[in-house]
Structure 1
Amino acid sequence: MGEHIIKLPDVGEGVAEAELVEWHVKIGDIVREDTVLAAVMTDKATVEIPSPVDGEILWLGAEIGDTVAIGSPIVRLKVAGEGNVKPQGGDVEVVATEPPAKLPTPRPETAAPATKTPPKTGGTDARPAPAVSKSPQPSVSGAPRPEGEKPLASPAVRLRAKEAGIDLRQVAGSGPAGRIGHEDIDAFLARGPQVARASGLARNDAIEDIKVVGLRRKIAEKMTLSKSRIPHITYVEEIDVTALEELRAALNKEKRAGKGERPKLTLLPFLMRAMVKAISDQPNLNSLFDDEAGIIHQHGGIHIGIAAQTPSGLVVPVVKHAEARDIWECGAEVIRLAEAAKSGTATRDELSGSTITITSLGAMGGVATTPVINHPEVAIIGVNKMMVRPVWDGTQFIPRKMMNLSSSFDHRVIDGWDAAVFIQRIKTLLETPALIFVD
C-alpha cells in the first residue's frame, strides 16, 4: 500500500488561488476514480475537484472557507501500489513533511451494563446495603410528574399559582403524596425565568455561528465595496404599465398560436429595450468608473446584468450586446441565463462584463427599494411590484396597472437631473410601448 497526494489543480481563468466551499468526502471514506472530492470557487464560478485514483481518505488539507493556493496539497489517500509519495524526495512532498492528519473524532465509550447480581464481599456477615429512597428532584426544563397526573394543592395555592401565571404541573410538591404547598411555589419562583410558565413558552438562548464562505462571502465583499466607495442617489418613479401589459399579453398569445419559436415575454425584455433607447440619448449611463484611476470607461456595447436569486445566493448573469438584440432575443437570452445561474452551470464569462444592471424581486418587489449599484457600474434599475391602483384621469378614478422603478446612480458621475431625465425617458417608452419598436 502507498499514499497519493492530490494538489489543487489549475482551475483555469489565470487564478492563483481558490476558496474551498464544500467537501464531498470525509476522513475514512473510500473513493473511486472521478469521485468528486471538493468544490472550490474562483470569483463566482464553482469548480468541482475529482479524485484521479481509487483510495481511502487519510487527510484533508483545508477547512471550508479557506483560501488555497494552486498546487497546494488538499487530500491524502491510501492507495494500492506505491502511490505518488516518494520517501526520498521527488515531485511530490514527502509524507513526513506534510501537516499532521486530522483524525476522526473518537466516539464516546459505551457504558458497561449494570450487573444484576451485586458482587460478593468477604465474610459471612456481609449484607446488601439498605436501599436509599431518593425523592425525585424537580426538573428545571421539564414537568416533574408524568403526563396527565393532576397536581395536588389547596385552593389557596392554586389561586396563587394562577395569579403568578404558574403551571402547577411544573411544580414539584414536598408534601404527602406530592402535595404542593406555598413553600414549593416559593422555591419554584426562586429558580428564575428559565422555568416554564403556564403559557408553555420558554427562552431559547442558543447561538449558532455560521461562517460566511463561498458565494455569500463574495456577495458581502461586493456589497461592502459598492456602498463604501459609491455615493448613491436613488430615484423612484411611478410607471403606468397597463398598455404594456396588454401588448405583452397579445404578443404571448400570438406565440401560443404557433408563430415561430418565440419565448414567452416578461416585463424584462421591454425594459431592456427601453434602456437601450434611453442610453442612446445618455451614453454616460452605460459606463464603468475606475475610481482609483479617475477614469470613466464609457462603453458602446450595452451589456445588461440581470440580478438573479439562486439557491446559493445572488448572481448577475449578463445579456451581452442588448443593443443588437430585438425584444424576443432579449427574452430568450434572459431565460437561458436564468436557468444556467440557478443550475450553477453559468460560466464566468456569462457572469461578468455588465455595464448596467437590472434588479427585480418579482411579485415580492415591494413599493420601493434602494438598489445597491454593481461596482464599478454607475447605474442600476430596480423593478418593483406591479399593482392595480386607482388613478385619476381628470374626471374619475380608474383602475390602472402601476409599477414603481427604484433606481440608484453613482452621484460622482451622474447628476440628479441626468438620473431623472433617464428614468423619465424609460417611463415614456414603457407607458407608450409602441415607441419601443420604432427605430
Structure 2
Amino acid sequence: MAQVLEFKLPDLGEGLTEAEVVRWLVEVGDVVAVDQPVVEVETAKAMVEVPCPYGGVVTARFGEEGSELPVGAPLLTVAVGAEPGGAVAGGAPEEPAERALQTAAERAAAEQVAEESSGNVLVGYGTAAAPARRRRVRSVRVSAPSAPTPSAPTPSAPAPPAPAVPAAPASDGPVPVISPLVRKLARENDVDLRSLVGSGPDGLITRADVDSAVKAGAVGQQARATTTPAPAAAPADAPVGSREDTRAAGFTRHPLTGLRGLVADKMSRSRREIPEATCWVDADATELLAARKAMNAAATGADGTQKVSLLALLARISVAALTRFPALNSSVDMEAREVRQYADIHLGFAAQTPRGLVVPVVRHSQSRSTESINTELIRLTESARAGTLTPGELTGGTFTLNNYGVFGVDGSTPIINHPEAAMLGVGRIVPKPWVHQGELAVRHVVQLSLTFDHRVCDGGTAGGFLRYVADCVEQPAVLLRSV
C-alpha cells in the first residue's frame, strides 16, 4: 500500500524566508526519483532547482508558477510505493496506443521549442536554464494529431484524440508562460497575458507572443493619436493605483520584490545603522598596468592558465591591506556592544547582472594566490550572469571591492554592504597629466575611495589602509613583501 509523504519548501539559505515558484519540472501523476529536481524557484539571491527527497508518484502540487511560498510551506505530495497511473495517481494506467500518441506529441513539442529557443526561451538567465526547459518539455502533456484508424481495432485501444487547438487562458487562475521573463516583459509593457493565445507547446505564451502584442499596441496607439485628442487628466476620485491613474500621473509602479527588494532593504538598513565616512586618493596605476601586461605575456595558456584581470590584482592588494589593517575586516553588533573582527577574509565583489546587482564572495581570500583569486572571480562572475549562484556564494562576505570604473565613472561614495565595516571603490583608469620623477608626464591615474564604519576605527586607520592600497597600485613591488 502506497504511503503519501509531503515535501515542504526547504530553507534555501541565510536570511531567506520565501521563494517564487518559477517553473514546475514535474506534473501530477509523474514518477520522480530520490533527489530529482521537481521545481525551479527564485529567491532574493539566486534561482535554484529544488530536489525532492522522496521517490514515487506525484499526487499533488502546491503553488502555481509565479506565486510566492514561505519556507516550510507544502510544495508537493508523493505517493511512495505507488504505481504510475494507478489509483493514487488519479487515473487508470495508460494504454499503449495513448502512450504512443503522447510520446509523438512530446517529441513534436520538443522540436518546436528547439526551433524557438534562439529568441523565446529564458534570454536573461543564460545557458544554465536550458536543462530545466528540456525537462519541462518532457513532462508536458499535449494532444497529437489524429492517426489513421487501424483496419481491425482492438476493443481495448481508445480512439485517437482530436488535434489540440491552443485556447486563450482562463479568466482566473495562473497564466501559462514559458519563462518568468515573459511575465516581466508583459508587466513592463502593460500587456494583459490573459488576452494572448500562446504559440508555444501546450499553449504556453512565449516572448515572441508578447513582443507581437507590444508591437500591435504601439501601432494602435499611433493610429489613435492621429484621430483622437490627448486624454484628459484623471478625475480626482479615480482609484489610487489604477492603470488609468498611473498613466495620467506620468509614472508606473514597480514592486520592490526579489533581488531588487533585497538590495533596497540592505541599503536602507546600511544607511540607517552605520555611521559611515569616506576618504579617497588619486594613484598612478601605470606600473600596475605594466605588471599585469608582463604577467599575461608570460602566461602561455597551454597549462590552462587564464589572463589575470585588473580586478584580481586589486583584490589581492585589498587582501594584503586587510592583513595589515584587520580592524576593517569586521562587523559591529550593537546589541552585544562589540566589534567582531574576523580571522578569515571573505572578499565580496560587486557584479552587475541582468537580474540586478549581486555581491559574490571569494572565500578565504587570505589563503589564495593572485591566480587562484582570478580563477574564482571568473567562475563567480559567469555564474552570476547565468543566474546560478547559490545562496552560500552570495553570503558571508567580510569586505567588499566595488569596481565602478567599468561604468566609465571616476569616483563614488558607495554604501557599505551591511553588516560589513568597509568597502573599497575603484574608478576608471584614464590618462592624465601627472608629476612623475619631478617632471610632468602623461600617466594612467585611478581614483580610490574607502567608505568605512566609523565605529570600528578612526580616520588614521582608514587613511593608512587606503594609502597602502595606493602604494601597491603605484609600485606593485611593495606587495611582494606580504605575498
TM-score, normalisation: structure 1:
0.64
1:19 matched to 2:15? The reply is no
The aligned residue for residue 464 of structure 2 is 421
Indicate the residue corresponding to 1:128 in structure 2: none
Give the distance between the partners of 2:360 and 2:194, measured in 1 at CA. 46
Aligned partners of 2:361, 2:476: CA distance in 1, in Å?
Answer: 24
Aligned equivalent of 1:289, options 326, 332, 340 = 332
**Is it true that 1:407 corresponds to 2:450 in the alignment?**
yes
CA–CA distance in structure 2, aligned partners of residues 417 and 14 of structure 1? 34
2:258 counterpart residue number: 214
d(CA) in 2 for partners of 1:24 and 1:360? Answer: 34
Larger mean Cα displacement after TM superposition, 282-291 or 379-388 = 282-291
1:97 is matched with none
Helix, strand or coil: the match of 1:256?
Answer: coil
Contact 1:392–1:398, Cα closer than 8 Å, also in 2: yes
Matches of residues 8-407 of structure 1 in structure 2 within 5 Å?
Answer: 8-11=8-11, 18-24=17-23, 36-41=38-43, 44-49=45-50, 61=63, 64=66, 66-70=68-72, 72-74=73-75, 80-83=85-88, 103=173, 205=248, 207-256=251-300, 258=302, 260-393=303-436, 397-407=440-450
Give 3-state SS (helix, strand or coil) of 2:313's partner.
Answer: helix
Percentage of identical aligned residues: 31
Code of the aligned partner of 2:19: L
Amino acid at match of 2:429: M
The 1:361–1:82 alpha-carbon spacing in structure 2 relative to 1, beyond 3 Å, is: farther
Give the whole-Å Cα distance in 1 for the aligned partners of 2:321 and 2:221.
65
Distance between the aligned counterparts of 1:254 and 1:261, measured in 2?
13
Point out the structure with max Rg over C-alpha.
1
- Which runs of 5 or more structure 1 residues have no equivalent in the other structure? 86-101, 109-139, 145-166, 172-187, 195-202
Whole-angstrom distance in 1 between the partners of 2:37 and 2:392:
27
Give the AA of the match of 2:454: H
- Counterparts of 2:318 and 2:14, CA distance in 1: 34
Partner Cα separation in structure 2 for residue 73 and residue 336 of structure 1: 34
* Matched-pair contact (CA < 8 Å) for 1:372–1:408: yes
Cα distance change, pair 387–37 in 1 and its aligned pair in 2 (3 A): same
Aligned 8 A contact 2:21 2:69 in 1: no
The CA deviation at 1:385 is 1.1
SS in 1 for 2:335: coil
2:184 corresponding residue in structure 1: none
CA RMSD of aligned residues (A): 4.1
8 Å contact 2:333–2:339 — kept in the other structure? yes
Task: Report the secondary structure of 1:330's partner residue.
Answer: helix
How many Å apart are 1:356 and its aligned residue? 1.0
Q: Contact 2:274/2:453 (CA < 8 Å) preserved in 1? A: yes
Question: 1:253-278: per-residue Cα shift (whole Å, max 9, x none)?
Answer: 111375x4332111222222222332
> CA offset at residue 378 of structure 1?
0.8
Q: Is the 8 A contact 2:312 2:373 kept in 1?
A: yes
Give the residue type in structure 1 aligned to 2:22. W
SS of alignment partner, residue 288 of structure 1: strand
Structure number with higher helix proportion: 2
Q: Which residue matches 2:117?
A: none
- Name the CA shift for 1:20/1:283 in 2 (closer, same or farther; >3 Å): closer
User: How far 1:434 sits from its partner (Å)?
Assistant: 1.4
CA contact (8 A) 2:345 2:364 kept: yes
C-alpha distance in structure 2 between counterparts of 1:267 and 1:231, whole Å: 31
Summarize deviations over 1:296-325 as a string: whole Å, max 9, x none: 111222221112122222222222222222
Q: Is the 8 A contact 1:20 1:64 kept in 2?
A: no
Rounded to whole Å, the distance in 1 between the matches of 2:452 and 2:14 is: 32
Specify every segment of 5 or more residues in structure 2 that has no aligned partner in the other structure, as ranges.
79-83, 91-171, 176-192, 196-219, 235-245
Distance 1:401 1:224, change over 3 A: same
In the TM superposition, what is the alpha-carbon distance from 1:209 to its structure 2 partner?
Answer: 3.1
Count how many residue pairs are aligned between Structure 1 and Structure 2: 338
Q: Return closer, same or farther for 1:368/1:63 CA change in 2, 3 Å cut-off.
A: same
Shift of 1:345: 3.0
Q: Given the superposition, is the C-alpha separation of residues 55 and 12 from structure 1 closer, same or farther in structure 2, using an over 3 Å criterion?
A: closer
- TM normalised by structure 2 equals 0.59
Q: Distance in 2 between matches of 1:406 and 1:400?
A: 19
Gap change, CA 1:76 and 1:420, over 3 Å in 2: same
The alpha carbon displacement at 1:408 in A equals 0.5
Quote the Cα distance in structure 2 between the aligned partners of 1:50 and 1:392: 61
Deviations 1:55-106 (A, max 9, x none): 898x854785745141x335699x9444389xxxxxxxxxxxxxxxx64689
Change (3 A) 1:271 1:65: farther
Q: 1:314 to 1:5 in 2, by over 3 A?
A: farther
1:383 to partner: Cα distance: 1.2
**Secondary structure at 1:48 match in 2:** strand
> In the superposition, relative to structure 1, how do residues 272 and 142 fare at CA in structure 2: closer, same or farther (>3 Å)?
closer
Q: Which residue of 2 aligns with 1:135?
A: none
Go from structure 1 to structure 2 and tell me whether the alpha carbon gap of 1:192 and 1:251 turns closer, same or farther (over 3 Å shift): same
The equivalent of 2:478 in structure 1 is 435
Task: Tell me the amino acid that sits aligned with residue 320 of structure 2.
Answer: K
Q: Distance in 1 between matches of 2:341 and 2:480?
A: 25
CA-to-aligned-CA distance 1:189-210 (integer Å, 9 cap, x gap)? 9x8799xxxxxxxx96465433
The one-letter code of the counterpart of 1:68 is P
What CA deviation, in whole Å up to 9, does each residue of 1:14-54 have, x standing for no partner?
98x7423243269x99978568544142x734433468777
